[in-house]
Amino acid sequence: MTQQKRSTDNQQQNPETSRLALPPSFGRRRFLKQAAFTSAMFATPGLFAAELSVTPSSRSLEGPFYPDKLPLDTDNDLLVINDSITPAVGEITHLSGRVLSKAGSPLRGVTVEIWQVDNNGTYIHSRGAGDKTRDGNFQGFGRFLTDAKGQYYFRTVKPVRYTVGGVFRTPHIHFAVNKNGHRIFTSQMLIKGHEDNKRDGLVRRIRNRKALESLLVDFKPLEDSKTGELQANFDIVLGATLEEIEEGKFNDTAGERPRRRRKARRSEKK
């Protein structure tokens, strides 16, 4: 485990040579099969673009617990801090995905950041623990530089529900994407089918069904894992804010634009 941690540390210290690093237990055959499929789809212009759904971005989705003091270790393995041999508590999850443009082109060399609560429901933020004890072995925040295919990878724990400051939240992971030092995407990823989603304020606030569905992700058992590890895939498709989608200003989702066109045609007939 220490050797794996050191390899990801070196990757982050040399971001120009950063590549997607998969641990041996990550079901490599399944990953390669999926990679071959997606490569074939994107090799044919326009074949897959129509199936892409833009992932809504909004500063309002950042939440109040982005680390106010970054941890000393910010690599993509959140289970172990630096050279510690004691891992964080929780369901080990291999989280991966791609960062794509609306047209389906991969974005290389952008920095993906994630932050989330530990298994006790606490953030690495001065106000993010409440009356709970923070897991000192959980990194809580990580970064990864996408490769030539726009891919990223994190090893973390499955998020849990929590209440901090009297506010209840369903399990989720915060995401941000930065390009050339500038934030270009902010959102959250939630667990598809989780029983607490219907209680969550954010879920209730997002009125557009397609926008909400793009944030819901399956956490599935990892193939060949003997310790109950999970895998989750969250592709990020840039192109619109949540506000644009919900106001009908973006034509990827249902909005007001089609109705306005029909009214215009009726007025022309008059």
**pLDDT by position in tens, the chain (length 270):** 444 454 444 344 444 333 335 454 444 444 444 444 444 444 444 434 446 789 999 999 999 999 999 998 999 999 999 989 999 999 999 999 999 999 999 999 999 999 999 999 999 999 998 778 999 999 999 999 999 999 999 999 999 999 998 999 999 999 999 999 999 999 999 999 999 999 999 999 999 999 999 999 999 999 999 999 999 999 999 999 999 998 887 655 433 333 344 444 444 444
pLDDT value, residue 131: 76
pLDDT value, residue 132: 87
Q: How far is CA 150 from the centre of its chain?
A: 13
- CATH superfamily of the 2-269 domain: Aromatic compound dioxygenase (2.60.130.10)
pTM equals: 0.79
Q: Sign of the CA dihedral 131, 137, 142, 148?
A: negative
List of residues 6+ apart from 99 with CB closer than 8 A: 106, 107, 110, 112, 146, 150, 152, 177, 185, 235, 236, 238
pLDDT value, residue 247: 87
pLDDT value, residue 116: 98
CB atoms within 10 A of CB 143: 20
Structure tokens at 55: 């992932």
CA angle 257, 259, 265 (to 5 degrees): 105
Q: What burial class does residue 70 get, using C-beta atoms within 10 Å of its C-beta: 0-12 exposed, 13-18 middle, 19+ buried? A: middle
Residues in the chain: 270
Q: How far is CA 78 from the centre of its chain?
A: 14
pLDDT value, residue 249: 73
pLDDT value, residue 260: 43
Contacts 24+ apart (CB under 8 A), 195-202: 196/161, 196/168, 196/170, 196/171, 197/170, 199/168, 199/170, 200/168, 200/169, 200/170, 201/167, 201/168, 201/169, 202/61, 202/169, 202/170, 202/172
Q: Which residues pair with 95 in a beta bridge?
A: 154, 232
